C-alpha cells in the first residue's frame, strides 16, 4: 500500500545475539511531493465521504485501469479561512459550559505526559470516534477531502493535537521545551516557531533529510487570543530537505504568497501541508498578549472556577493534519486508558462544525497586499492607513533545533493594528524572503 509500513522482527542468529527489527516503508509520491494511492491496490481505494460525513453509496469502488486519468475531484490546497459553528459557543450559559469543557479537553490532551499528536483513521469500520475531539478531527478531514476523491482509507486519516499558550504547568511546552530544542526560543514561549508539518519521527529515523508532508494542514482557533498564524508558500525538497526556490516562466524567482490569520473563536484556517508556517507573537502590539491573558479574580470563586477563567484566557488552537495514503510513523490513537477523561462524542449534540458555513462568512477584516521591494506596499484589497505602511524586515529563527533563520519584510505597524479574526494576504518578490542555510 502506498505509504504503508510494517515491522518485521528477524529471529536471533544461532549462538544468541540481539533481535533485529526491520522497518519497511513503501512510498509513492507525485511530482509535487504528495503521497498518492497505489494503483496496484485498486480494490482498497475508496471515494471520500460526502461533505456531510455520510458514507458513499459504494463502500469500495474500483479505479479505472488507466490510473493516469484525472481523479473525480481534487483537493483545495489554497490558504484560506472560514468560520465554523464553534463561533456560536459561549452565547449563553449552556454553550459557554460546552466551550469550557472543550477547553478542558484541550488542556488534558496537551499534557506533557502524553504523546505529542494522535491519530483517527479515515476507515470508520476500523476506528469510530470515541470523544468529541476525535469527532472534530474527522469532520475536518471530510470537510477538506471532497466526495469522489479516491484514497486508501487504511492508511489515511487525521493527525490531531492542540497548542496552548501560555503553556499550562503540565503542558507539553512547559515540560519539554528544552527537549524539543525550543528552550531558548522566545518565539515559542508565546507563539509557535517556524516549521514544516511532516512525519517527524520518520524524518529522524531516515537521517533527517526525508520530508513526508500531510496533504493539508489546518488550525481551528478556540479562543480570540494570541499570535496570528503566518503561512508562507516556501517548501523543502521531500527527498533532501533542501530549501526549494521556485522559478517563474521567465526564469526569475517566483513570488511568495502568504497569509496571516489572527485568532478568533471558531475560525478555521487551512493551507497546503507542504508550506512553512509559524505563529510569531511579535506581530501583535507590544504587551497585547500579556493583557489578553490577564483577568480579574471575582471574590468568592473556588479553585475550579479559577481554572475555568485561566483556560478562557489562553491562546488555544486545535490542529488537524490531513494524511492521504500514508499513516505517519509512531502516531497512534489517543490512549484508551485516558479516553474517559474527555468529553463524549455528543458534547455539542447534533451541531456540526461546517454545517451551513461558507467562505463568505468572515470573522474580521480581510486585506490583500503586494510588497514591491524598497519598503513599498501596493494594496490589492481593502485599505491601509498610510501611517501603517512602513515595512520592516523581520528575522525569525527556524524551529526544530535548527540554527537557520528566515528574513521576511513585513508591514509591521499594519500587523500590530489588526484585531481578532482579521486576515492579511501578502505577496512578496521571491528574492526578498531569505532562508539561511541549505537545509531545513
List, for residues 80-112, the tens digit of each pLDDT value.
999 999 999 988 999 999 999 999 999 999 999
Structural contact between residues 426 and 381, judged by C-beta atoms closer than 8 angstroms: no
Banded model confidence at residue 57, pLDDT cuts 50, 70, 90: very low
SS (HEC) of 276-326: EEEECHHHCCCCHHHHHHCCCCCCCCCHHHHHHHHHHCCEEEEEEEEECCC
- Mean pLDDT on 47-64: 42
- Could you report the per-residue pLDDT of 420-434, keeping only the tens digit for each? 999 999 999 999 999
pLDDT of residue 46: 57
Asked if the model's pLDDT at residue 207 lies above 50, the reply is yes
Helical segments of 65-110, H only: 93-109
**Which residue matches cell numbers 511530482?**
31
For 104, counting Cβ atoms within 10 Å of its Cβ (0-12 exposed, 13-18 middle, 19+ buried), the class is: middle
Closest listed residue to residue 224, CA positions, set 151, 289, 304, 170: 289
Would you state the cell numbers that stand for residue 38, as one nine-digit string?
497505489
Q: What are phi and psi of 393, to 5 degrees?
A: -80, 115
Q: For 158-172, 270-284, 399-413, which range has the lowest pLDDT when averaged over its residues? A: 399-413
Structural contact between residues 321 and 217, judged by C-beta atoms closer than 8 angstroms: yes
Give CA–CA dist 309/382, Å, rounded: 36
Cα 438 → chain centroid: 25
Q: Which residue has the higher pLDDT, 160 or 61?
A: 160
Count Cα neighbours of 234 within 13 Å in the Cβ-side half-sphere.
30
Banded model confidence at residue 65, pLDDT cuts 50, 70, 90: very low
Asked if the model's pLDDT at residue 18 lies above 90, the reply is no
- Mean pLDDT on 52-74: 42
Closest listed residue to residue 232, CA positions, set 259, 251, 206: 259
Q: For 94-108, 137-151, 379-393, which range has the lowest pLDDT when averaged over its residues? A: 379-393
For the chain, what percentages of helix, strand and coil (3-state, to nearest 5) are there? Answer: 20, 25, 55
pLDDT of residue 63: 28
pLDDT of residue 290: 95
- Strand pairing report for 366-371 and 423-428: parallel
- The model carries a pTM of 0.88
Give CA–CA dist 306/295, Å, rounded: 10
Q: Which percentage of the chain shows pLDDT scores above 70?
A: 82
- Could you report the per-residue pLDDT of 232-246, keeping only the tens digit for each? 999 999 999 999 988
- Could you report the per-residue pLDDT of 249-267, keeping only the tens digit for each? 666 789 999 999 999 999 9
pLDDT of residue 22: 74
How far, in Å, are 260, 369, 380 from residue 383 at the CA level? 16, 9, 8
Banded model confidence at residue 306, pLDDT cuts 50, 70, 90: very high
Q: Which residue has the higher pLDDT, 128 or 148?
A: 128
Amino acid at each position: 500500500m502506498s505509504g504503508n509500513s510494517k515491522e518485521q522482527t528477524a529471529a536471533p542468529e544461532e549462538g544468541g545475539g540481539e533481535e533485529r527489527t526491520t522497518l519497511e516503508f513503501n512510498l509513492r509520491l507525485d511530482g509535487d511531493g504528495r503521497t498518492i494511492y497505489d494503483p496496484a491496490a485498486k480494490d482498497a481505494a475508496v471515494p471520500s465521504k460526502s461533505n456531510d460525513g455520510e458514507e458513499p453509496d459504494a463502500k469500495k469502488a474500483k479505479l479505472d485501469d488507466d490510473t493516469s486519468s484525472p481523479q473525480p475531484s481534487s483537493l483545495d490546497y489554497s490558504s484560506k479561512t472560514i468560520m465554523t459553528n464553534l463561533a456560536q459557543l459561549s452565547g449563553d450559559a449552556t454553550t459557554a459550559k460546552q466551550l469550557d469543557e472543550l477547553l478542558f479537553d484541550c488542556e488534558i490532551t496537551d499534557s506533557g505526559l502524553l504523546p505529542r499528536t494522535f491519530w483517527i483513521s479515515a476507515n470508520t469500520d476500523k476506528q469510530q470516534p470515541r470523544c468529541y475531539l476525535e469527532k472534530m478531527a474527522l469532520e475536518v478531514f471530510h470537510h477538506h477531502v471532497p466526495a469522489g476523491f479516491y484514497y486508501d482509507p487504511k492508511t489515511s486519516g487525521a493527525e490531531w493535537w492542540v497548542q496552548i499558550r501560555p503553556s499550562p504547568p503540565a503542558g507539553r511546552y512547559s515540560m519539554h521545551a528544552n527537549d524539543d530544542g525550543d528552550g531558548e526560543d522566545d518565539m515559542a514561549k508565546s507563539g509557535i516557531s517556524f516549521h514544516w508539518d511532516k512525519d517527524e519521527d520518520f524524518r529522524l529515523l531516515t537521517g533527517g533529510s526525508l520530508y513526508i508532508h500531510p496533504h493539508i494542514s489546518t488550525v481551528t482557533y478556540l479562543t480570540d487570543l494570541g499570535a496570528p498564524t503566518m503561512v508562507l508558500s516556501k517548501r523543502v525538497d521531500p527527498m533532501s530537505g533542501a530549501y526549494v526556490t521556485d522559478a517563474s516562466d521567465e526564469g526569475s524567482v517566483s513570488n511568495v504568497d502568504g497569509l496571516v490569520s489572527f485568532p478568533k473563536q471558531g475560525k478555521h484556517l487551512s493551507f497546503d501541508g507542504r508550506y512553512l508556517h509559524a505563529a510569531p507573537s511579535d506581530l501583535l502590539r507590544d504587551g497585547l498578549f500579556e493583557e489578553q491573558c490577564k483577568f480579574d479574580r471575582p471574590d468568592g470563586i473556588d479553585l475550579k472556577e479559577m481554572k475555568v477563567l485561566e483556560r478562557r484566557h489562553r491562546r488555544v488552537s486545535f490542529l488537524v493534519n490531513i494524511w492521504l495514503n500514508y499513516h505517519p510513523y509512531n502516531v497512534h490513537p489517543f490512549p484508551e486508558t485516558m479516553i474517559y477523561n474527555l468529553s463524549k462524542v455528543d458534547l455539542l449534540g447534533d451541531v456540526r462544525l461546517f454545517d451551513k458555513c461558507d467562505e463568505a462568512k468572515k470573522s474580521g477584516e480581510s486585506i490583500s497586499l503586494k510588497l514591491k521591494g524598497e519598503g513599498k506596499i501596493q494594496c490589492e484589497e481593502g485599505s491601509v492607513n498610510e501611517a501603517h505602511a512602513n515595512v520592516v524586515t523581520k528575522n525569525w529563527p527556524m524551529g526544530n533545533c535548527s540554527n537557520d533563520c528566515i528574513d521576511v519584510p513585513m508591514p509591521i505597524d499594519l500587523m500590530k493594528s489588526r484585531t481578532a479574526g482579521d486576515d492579511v494576504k501578502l505577496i512578496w518578490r521571491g528574492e526578498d524572503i531569505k532562508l539561511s542555510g541549505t537545509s531545513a
